[in-house]
């Protein structure tokens, strides 16, 4: 199962289309709120939580396995390790994630 949480709202990946992602991020920004995006992945050997730097979450407790490291690399590739993110970064990450995790 893969979920995405933007601000206070969380959806399964299947229900988090690009329009919803962009609406949530743009709405938070418009209202003067910090944009926090959390992606939780629990699929096969992958058990991880990824969060943008503006989120307050504790770090992991073990080294990542090979597939998890690949996902961390994708997170960085799509600039989600930076403070100023946009919906396009999140959508492109999720699209590539689907190909990696399946």
Report the sign of the C-alpha dihedral through residues 7, 19, 4, 59, in that order.
negative
The pLDDT value recorded for residue 35 is: 95
Q: What is the domain partition of the chain in residue ranges?
A: 2-101
Q: What is the CA radius of gyration of the chain?
A: 13
Q: Which residue has the tokens 């994708």?
A: 74
The pLDDT value recorded for residue 2 is: 95
The pLDDT value recorded for residue 15 is: 95
The pLDDT value recorded for residue 101 is: 84
Q: How far apart are CA 89 and CA 78, in angstroms?
A: 5
pLDDT, one tens digit for every residue, the chain (102 residues): 999 999 999 999 999 999 999 999 999 999 999 999 999 999 988 999 999 999 987 766 788 999 999 999 999 999 999 999 999 999 999 999 999 886
Residue 37 class from Cβ within 10 Å (0-12 exposed, 13-18 middle, 19+ buried)?
A: buried
The pLDDT value recorded for residue 102 is: 66
């Amino acid at each position: 199962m893969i979920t995405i949480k933007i601000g206070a709202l969380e959806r399964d990946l299947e229900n988090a289309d690009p329009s919803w992602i962009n609406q949530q991020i743009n709405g938070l920004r418009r209202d003067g709120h910090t944009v926090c995006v959390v992606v939780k992945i629990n699929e096969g050997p992958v058990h991880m939580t990824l969060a943008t730097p503006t989120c307050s979450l504790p770090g992991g407790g073990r080294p990542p396995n090979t597939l998890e490291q690949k996902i961390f690399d994708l997170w960085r590739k799509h600039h989600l390790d930076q403070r100023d993110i946009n919906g396009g970064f999140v959508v492109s990450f999720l699209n590539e994630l689907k190909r990696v995790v399946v």
